[in-house]
Structure 1
Amino acid sequence: MRIHIIDIDQPPGIGMASMRDMDAHPTIVSTALVAKIAAEAAKKVRSEVCEVIMAVSMQQVS
């Protein structure tokens, strides 16, 4: 049985990221997650405020 080993070079731009880039990943993900949670909370508050405004305006119409 023969084993053939072929050395395949990656095209430019495709390769292993440096350790510095890999170490930054958890920080970037954590920051993005905090921003997403804050945006969702603000969206929820706006939605609740709109519901209250709609309820009040419906009472005034009746």
Structure 2
Amino acid sequence: MSKLYKKWFFPFVLPAFAVFLIVVLIPFIIGIFYSFTGWRGSFFMGPNGRTPIPLRPFLA
């Protein structure tokens, strides 16, 4: 029975891991990125208003 579990482990786990990655981990990482920038929903807010470079507050 052990060989059967080893054979079918990855075909069942990889799709579940891919869905978890897309639904949970990627939005979590993007949320962390937005929390450290001046993201306002449709543009990045810089010291003088809108800025096209998202990391400009860190670089200035």
TM-score, reference length from structure 1: 0.42
Give the structure with higher Rg (CA).
1
Q: Name which structure has the greater RCO, CA cutoff 8 Å, separation 6+.
A: 2
Structure with higher helix content: 1
